[in-house]
Amino acid sequence: MTDLELLRRLDEIRAKGARACLATVVKTAGSTPRDAGAKMVVTVDGDILGTVGGGCGEGRVRSAAMRCMVATEAPELLEVDLTLTKEGDDSDVCGGTMWVLLEPS
């Protein structure tokens, strides 16, 4: 899905009066699955359009986007650490970090 298609879908969701959150990778450091500019839309129902990288990192972005829509209703910057976790879970070991801007509406 291109950025243009994704933004059109976001407009359609908003036109129906539904809530959604645009998540955009704004900065990366080290190895990450997507570069700055990657976009994903999360609906209030938890549906995802587009991707910011998949896996547990994307799951954290999805959860934060849903919380942001319901709790704060304000934009926020989320840091997603994609290095080895303290528990030894290596599912997110890309070695880098990405910062994702969450814009709920």
Q: What is the pLDDT along the chain (105 residues), one digit of tens a residue?
A: 899 999 999 999 999 999 999 999 999 999 899 999 999 999 999 999 999 988 888 999 999 999 999 898 899 999 999 886 555 555 556 789 999 999 998
Q: Could you give the number of structural domains in the chain?
A: 1
Please give the residue range of the domain that contains residue 57: 3-104
Q: How far is CA 33 from the centre of its chain?
A: 12
What is the rounded CA–CA span in Å between residue 31 and residue 83?
9
- d(CA 76, CA 102) in angstroms, rounded, equals 5
HSE of 48, CA atoms in CB hemisphere, 13 A: 18
CA neighbours closer than 13 Å in the CB half-sphere of residue 52: 32
Distance CA 21, CA 105 (A): 6
